[in-house]
Amino acid sequence: MKIAKFFAWIFGLLGALLLLGSLGLCLFSLDAQPRVRELPQGAVLCSEQLSSAVTGRDYDALEGCIYGQPKLGLSGKPEEELAGMVWELAQLNLQFSWQGDCYVRDGSFYRDASVTYMDVSSILESLPTRAHALLSQRVEAAESMEELYDAAGEFRKDLVDQVMKAALTQCCMEDAGTVTVSVSVELVHRDGQWWAVPDRQLLTALSCGTV
């Protein structure tokens, strides 16, 4: 609420000066920072729906509470088995929590959150080294060429699959780093209801750094 400006010339005793000074301080506080005595329950409910969708890995519900209802591409699972393993593990390790209540900033409603996610890029960086080391061990331990190569002289597919899965498991358990970010989620009232407007940083966190 804006407060009208008051102009006055002060003459009088010290007591009058102190009284007017106290009044001026009160008016300054009201004019400097708008305050909302009661936050709209719709905004609070929208923020809770977003957090429930994220922690429950319900990405269809997450898309439903974001303004514009965009397709984030988070609900699907990669067809490639190893990629699917990484994505499942990343989802299990995703942590989301609100840091305080809704508040007003620059005339809009916001709520701050902390998001911790597994850095998928750290796994992909160490995977080739891990796979090479494990494959070398299998080659040294092999008692016959048939254990290693197929009829075309290539490494057997089942051997490669076993090595890659073992290397990926090692990467996830020993090399995976985590990233924690603080994000501000804007809450807007459009088309008769409340929506969340995530920024790029939040979307990156939800995708575990893959976008």
Which segments of the chain does DSSP mark as H helices, in order?
Answer: 14-32, 41-55, 59-64, 81-92, 120-141, 157-170, 200-206
Threshold 0.75, pTM exceeds: no
Tokens read off for 105: 């900033």
Give the Cα separation of 106 and 116 in Å (integer).
27
Give the Cα separation of 188 and 192 in Å (integer).
10
Which of 76, 89, 90, 85 shows the shortest CA–CA distance to 161?
A: 85
pLDDT for 211 equals: 67
**Dihedral (CA of 59, 60, 63, 64) sign:** negative
pLDDT tens digits, one per residue of 160-211: 889 988 998 888 888 888 889 999 999 999 999 999 998 888 888 888 877 6
| b/e 128-140 (16+ beta carbons within 10 angstroms → b) | eebbeebbeebee
Residue 124: strand, helix, or coil: helix
pLDDT tens digits, one per residue of 9-23: 222 322 333 333 333
